[in-house]
Structure 1
């Protein structure tokens, strides 16, 4: 609905401008009807061959080719004065879009983990073991990683909003299927299918941020929105634990709750959220110009290119895999993020061994889920570092512009990671070796706060560093990283159960802490030698 209103606004704006110009031309002819601008006597023919440009208000010759028009239209529609541009929308709509973006990311990521805290109920309902019950979470995450490979082409052709709306509707249908599933097979199939259509919050997330906020604004906006994304997988288990332990509702209400929130999001997108993808806005303007002027040569640039969907899909699959296999920078950061996600999602069943009824502290199901609040507090505390880092980055950008440069080197984005890198292994060791019946419950909870803080610091820097380093290839680089971490961390949800059973809490976390220690120098190495690595890279930007 909002997108339709937005399209109509574009059409009406161009129509009114063209109508005003036609009146201006008519008045000019009335003043001097016999004037001729062509001494050869062919002035009338020249006027017939001319078009009135609806933005410059001047006659222009008929374009010689579509590329000329496409490039001209792109410059016009991309200008700050464009009435149909994104930055002229009302403040209320902007706020609604930002809120909806946050909620979409929150629900998409939360759905991946919400079933991890109703494992006892799933085991009883379907008559399966713990590892099989956890497969729902594992398959959802694997599907989410695979779905990210094919997300970009649909967004490039259809725009952001149609992709969000259609994928959320299909996601909701499969979530309903999971709630109504009569057996474990159909439930797992629905969870996997729902995961395939939950990718827009993650893959379109960065693109929507780029559409709406400038690079300097993204320095503080991106971490805040990212924090809200991370709250999803660890607030959802808290809610699910209370649903699972309730005698009033059954476990299916985890799925129904997800479905209700998804439906509310679809309605919000339809009624309030405008389109943000610039090429689609350009195509709307080009379509309106063709209708108003009758000149069929007005084309947006991506209409001129007209790359078929199958070629876009082919590129979106090949390029992320190529970057992942050939770029050492992406490989190292992917490894780092994969380890972080392995520990992070390993805690979903692991908290039962630490805090649960059969674990060290013997809490019931609801209170075990409540212990995830420590990680969430850590995520929120990480926001405290955003403003100082933003001020520092802004100062660096000002200094770079004084020197005639337009950008700051990507290594300046690693400030968050430098803060979080040493805290990550410390927090894992702390949790592992303070989880004893004789030690207060508050000690491992405090360690989980430090862990959440470190994870968020590292994630913010890794994402922003890759975006700044690879620029036009950034989306593909991030898709490769998303594929790796979800496809590895997903099975870890199931694999972590025998690890905790056989190694115990202390040695499992010691093993993970040692791996985190080995990777802790990565941000420091790139801080001082990142420029050399980028210079030798085929895809990264050297900034020299």
Structure 2
């Protein structure tokens, strides 16, 4: 053990006992017989537990402040929390993300009932789906100011109950307008958990270990929509369209209770609480405050992402690549009933189960990302340390999963296009969704890790916000024209059109792997130089 002097209140000296790892474990305020006074003592001085203080030359004397972590082993730093705590704090945003994104697609099996109940067209009946997804796109604008000023934990605890209340309102809606509006706000207030989840993972995991945690978290935006129709199909078939909203609540409530054990992970807020607890000066304020801070955060989450889309080639190409893949995923919400109910005569419940192929493929995509991270990125990380480069790794080593996965999307689409007919067993188009989903999540995960590595934490958040805007706007729009496209072109050619479009985007990760360093050099933003 070592003892460290804490500078703070001039009227009272505080001693803080640090563990051998260097973290604060106990603060004692001038109480006799409860601490050992290090200052001016020799090696004969003992600690409260009777153990000897190390020799003077071995005793490290520092001032503990709230300006930064107390060294790399500070136990209050989430990177140093026990593994079980980091896993728990990773599962919370993952579960919220699953529940919120399931809410998008769980509605789709019930939209024919909505069409009949409110006597509207199929396009209007699909508006509650599109507006929910649109809410997911713009919710992060709300999350950023709250996260920056109050911390990440508050975002989970405040936004999710509001989303649950609007979901409850959607289930009891008696007009199509009320249903559409409540669904929009359910998505809007549900999405902050998704937006803050990425930051939570950055708080908890060092870059070399981040891929596994990020892959599990990023699985939610795909796995949720894949499971939604399976749940909503049986709910709509046996209970009616209103029951497509209750599964969202059945998930949100227990996940919310599970989240109550969370601690704050955001460094700024942790240091502020440390300062208040120990009575020492708080961390210095960096950047604007008050309304200027809100304006700055809206810039980071909305205006800067839009600017990056049109000025940063890396952000532009990956935003539209990911946006296209997600538009296909959401188009499948309309296409699957056409295929499996129209061609194979499934009922709504079993038609929803066919989306499980997408769920399985998504899990394979996560595994692919983790395998490449272990075999390639981790290997480069160790080599960098061995060569004295401090673990710096070129971001392009994140792209292997996207490069391989880029083939899965067109393969799955063409397979689905030309086997969705009466004379081919229904299992074939179901299996076709596996390579599509595998490619989709492989590209999505790899691109997300790549963008964070290229642009760093702050600009990386804006880059991810850019991909999120495009992804969810594309997902919101595609269901509105899918039925018309499949009616006019037929299943084979409508899906083939999507396959041909995916082929035009296939080279994107390959080109960036080859020329990424040159593109990064010309960026308008600070980028990694590895």
Give the structure-2-normalised TM-score.
0.86
Deviations 1:288-338 (A, max 9, x none): 232xxxx5xx01134786454433344233221221221111111111111
Farther-moved stretch of structure 1 (519-528 vs 382-391): 382-391
The answer to whether residue 207 in structure 2 is matched with residue 196 in structure 1 is no
Contact 2:141 2:298 in 1 (8 A): no
Matched with 1:252 is 242
Distance 1:183 1:453 in 2: 39
Gaps of 5+ in 1: 1-11, 32-54, 61-68
Write out aligned runs for 1:45-194 (5 A).
73-75=66-68, 77=69, 79-87=71-79, 89=81, 92-194=84-186
Partner in structure 1 of residue 318 of structure 2:
333
| Unpaired stretches in structure 2, ≥5 consecutive residues | 1-15, 18-23, 42-58
TM-score normalised by structure 1 residue count:
0.84
Measure the CA separation in 1 of the matches of 2:107 and 2:178.
15
Change (3 A) 1:533 1:500: same
Does the 8 Å CA contact 2:110/2:240 hold for their aligned counterparts? no
Paired residue total: 489
| Correspondence 1:264 to 2:254 | yes
Q: Which residue of the partner structure matches residue 395 of structure 1?
A: 379
1:433 and 2:422 correspond: no
Conserved? CA contact 1:531–1:542, under 8 Å: no
Cα deviation 1:331-351 (Å, max 9, x = unaligned): 111111111011111000110
The correspondence of residues 102-501 of structure 1 with structure 2, limited to 5 A, is 102-246=94-238, 249-270=239-260, 272-290=261-279, 298-302=281-285, 306=289, 308=291, 309-316=293-300, 317-356=302-341, 359-389=342-372, 390-405=374-389, 406-471=391-456, 472-501=458-487
| Partners of 2:188 and 2:522 in 1: CA distance | 36
Q: Distance in 1 between matches of 2:262 and 2:37?
A: 41
- What is the CA-CA distance between 1:462 and the residue it aligns to? 1.0
Q: Is 401-410 or 102-111 further displaced after alignment?
A: 401-410
The corresponding residue for 1:8 is none
Cα-to-partner distance string for 1:150-173 (whole Å, 9 max, x where unaligned): 422211111111111110011011
**Residues 285, 22 of structure 1: alpha-carbon distance in 2 compared, 3 angstrom cutoff:** farther
Kindly provide the CA deviation profile for residues 22-76 of structure 1, in whole angstroms up to 9, marking residues without a partner as x: 7689978999xxxxxxxxxxxxxxxxxxxxxxx9777x7xxxxxxxx9xx5333x
Contact 2:79-2:205 at 8 Å conserved across structures: no
Q: Distance in 2 between matches of 1:350 and 1:27?
A: 74
After superposition, give the CA deviation of every residue in 1:229-256 in whole Å (9 maximum; x if it has no partner).
421111011100011111xx33222212
Alignment CA distance shift 1:520-1:25 (3 Å): closer
The equivalent of 2:507 in structure 1 is 521
Conserved? CA contact 1:167–1:197, under 8 Å: yes
How far apart in 1 are the matches of 2:371 and 2:298? Answer: 42
Counterpart residue number, 1:66: none
Q: Distance in 2 between matches of 1:302 and 1:22?
A: 36
Q: Deviations over 1:189-248 (max 9, x none)?
A: 1001111111123211210110111111112222233224421111011100011111xx
Over the aligned positions, Cα root-mean-square deviation in angstroms equals 2.7
**Is residue 525 of structure 2 the alignment partner of residue 539 of structure 1?**
yes
- Is the Cα contact below 8 Å between 1:149 and 1:483 reproduced in 2? no
* Preserved CA contact (<8 Å) 2:135 2:184: yes
Q: Pick closer, same or farther for the CA change 1:28–1:453 going to 2, 3 Å.
A: closer
CA pair 131-397 structure 1, distance change in 2 beyond 3 A: same
**CA, structure 1 residues 360+81, in 2 after alignment: closer, same or farther (shift >3 Å)?**
same
Partners of 1:439 and 1:15 in 2: CA distance: 67
Residue 65 of structure 1: aligned partner: none
- Relative contact order (C-alpha < 8 Å, sep 6+): which is higher? 1
CA 1:124–1:209 in structure 2 vs 1: closer, same or farther (change >3 Å)?
same
Deviation at 1:279, TM superposition (A): 0.8
Q: What are the equivalent positions in structure 2 for 1:498-513 lying under 5 Å apart?
A: 498-513=484-499
Comparing 338-347 with 20-29, greater Cα deviation is found at: 20-29
Say if 1:410 and 1:468, in contact at 8 Å, map to a contact too: yes
Contact 2:197–2:217 (Cα < 8 Å) also in 1: no
Q: Does structure 2 retain, via aligned residues, the 8 Å contact 1:21–1:57?
A: no
Distance in 1 between residues matched to 2:245 and 2:228, nearest whole Å: 11
